[in-house]
């Protein structure tokens, strides 16, 4: 109840701020950001470590577009009032939609998961994980699906979302002492943001999110990275992965954006294949810390590139 009252108060403050902007003509972007807005999910390739490097390269503009939104670190740091977000992972996009439309029901189901996890630990985890192997899974309602993904994300090994060739989650239990399964403040903050802003939520191919963009659009691309060797990179976010042909298709879309005069910034691996694909584009090298890897000796600083037209 206290949390709900706090968010009601924040909502009215937000409405007052918008009214002030309308009366004074100030840009909404200049208002103070909501510090409660953080990624709800830990996502492979998340950009929390590179937020400042990316943000300083993204100009102010109109429509903000993320065709590979993932955990949404850049979106939630930037907090645009007009945006289009997309991901091919339908379970991930369902989480965003449920947080927007049904936060109360979602939190209620997460509290059940939290209690079951405290009582049964890995036994409950593997029972929940196995549900996508059952015929009834396709009939699971959206709230239960979203709660399942959040619960598994908070309790699986190293927060890794990975599926096998059949599209089934296959990450082992993480054995955390106190996983943050019911992040009520974070979920309510994200729900408020998605409802107060004009955020179009799409689920599909990245190229679909780039159709019909205005010239002042700002596009940030964070695709599954090109593997730099046979084992060091990960593209198992969705059934089928994201291979070299997809990287070529993404490059072709970047060419179209450049020709249309639309600004884009892309993150990817610093490897010869990517540098060859983007020959003629602006390529900058940055260092990022990666904490999601099945092997501890492969976590740490890695070189990445930021590509723009």
- 205-239 pLDDT, tens digit each: 999 999 999 999 999 999 999 998 765 544 455 55
Per cent of the chain over pLDDT 70 is 82
**Where are the extended beta strands (E) located within 129-281?**
198-203, 218-221, 263-269
Which residues are paired to 303 by β-bridges?
287
Q: What is the largest CA-CA distance in the chain?
A: 57
| Helix 122-129 / helix 142-155 crossing angle, nearest 10 deg | 130
Of the pLDDT bands very low, low, confident and very high (cuts 50, 70, 90), residue 242 is confident
Which residues are paired to 60 by β-bridges?
none
How far CA 183 is from CA of 1, 110, 254, in Å, comes to 15, 9, 37
Helix (H) or strand (E) holding 286: strand 282-290
Is the pTM for the entire model greater than 0.75? yes
**Residue 47 annotated in ligand binding:** yes
Per-residue pLDDT at 277 exceeds 90: yes
Of the pLDDT bands very low, low, confident and very high (cuts 50, 70, 90), residue 55 is very high
Q: What is the pLDDT of residues 85-135, one digit of tens each?
A: 999 999 999 999 999 999 999 999 999 999 999 999 999 999 999 999 999
Distance CA 299, CA 156 (A): 17
pLDDT for the residue numbered 272: 96
Of the pLDDT bands very low, low, confident and very high (cuts 50, 70, 90), residue 300 is low
Least confident of 13-22, 146-155, 292-301: 13-22
| Nearest by Cα to 37 from 1, 101, 80 | 80
Q: What is the pLDDT of residues 156-187, one digit of tens each?
A: 998 888 888 888 999 999 989 999 999 999 99
Domain 43-89+184-308: CATH architecture, name and number where available: 3-Layer(aba) Sandwich (3.40)
**Residue 43 annotated in ligand binding:** yes
**Residue 87 annotated in ligand binding:** yes
pLDDT for the residue numbered 160: 82
Count CB-CB contacts under 10 A for residue 14.
16
């Amino acid at each position: 109840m206290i949390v709900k009252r706090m968010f009601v108060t924040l909502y009215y403050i937000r409405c007052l701020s918008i009214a002030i902007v309308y009366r004074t003509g100030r840009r909404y972007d200049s208002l103070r950001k909501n510090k409660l807005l953080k990624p709800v999910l830990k996502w492979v390739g998340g950009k929390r470590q590179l937020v400042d490097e990316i943000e300083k390269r993204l100009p102010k503009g109109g429509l903000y577009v993320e065709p590979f939104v993932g955990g949404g670190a850049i979106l939630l740091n930037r907090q645009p009032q007009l945006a289009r977000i997309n991901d091919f992972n339908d379970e991930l996009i369902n989480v965003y939609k449920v947080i927007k439309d049904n936060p109360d029901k979602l939190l209620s189901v997460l509290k059940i998961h939290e209690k079951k996890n405290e009582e049964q630990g890995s036994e409950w985890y593997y029972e929940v994980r196995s549900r996508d192997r059952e015929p009834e899974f396709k009939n699971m309602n959206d709230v239960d699906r979203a709660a399942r993904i959040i619960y598994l994300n908070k309790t699986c090994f190293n927060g890794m979302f990975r599926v096998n060739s059949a599209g089934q989650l296959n990450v082992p239990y993480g054995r955390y002492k106190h996983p943050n399964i019911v992040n009520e403040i974070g979920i309510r903050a994200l729900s408020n943001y998605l409802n107060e802003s004009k955020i179009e939520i799409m689920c599909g191919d990245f190229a679909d999110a780039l159709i019909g963009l205005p010239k002042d659009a700002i596009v940030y691309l964070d695709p599954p990275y090109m593997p730099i060797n046979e084992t060091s990179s990960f593209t198992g976010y969705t059934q089928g992965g994201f291979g070299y042909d997809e990287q070529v298709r993404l490059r072709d879309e970047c060419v179209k954006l450049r020709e249309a005069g639309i600004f884009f910034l892309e993150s990817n691996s610093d490897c010869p294949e990517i540098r060859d694909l983007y020959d003629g584009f602006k390529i900058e090298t940055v260092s990022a810390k990666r904490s999601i890897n099945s092997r501890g000796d492969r976590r740490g600083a890695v070189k990445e590139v930021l590509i723009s037209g």
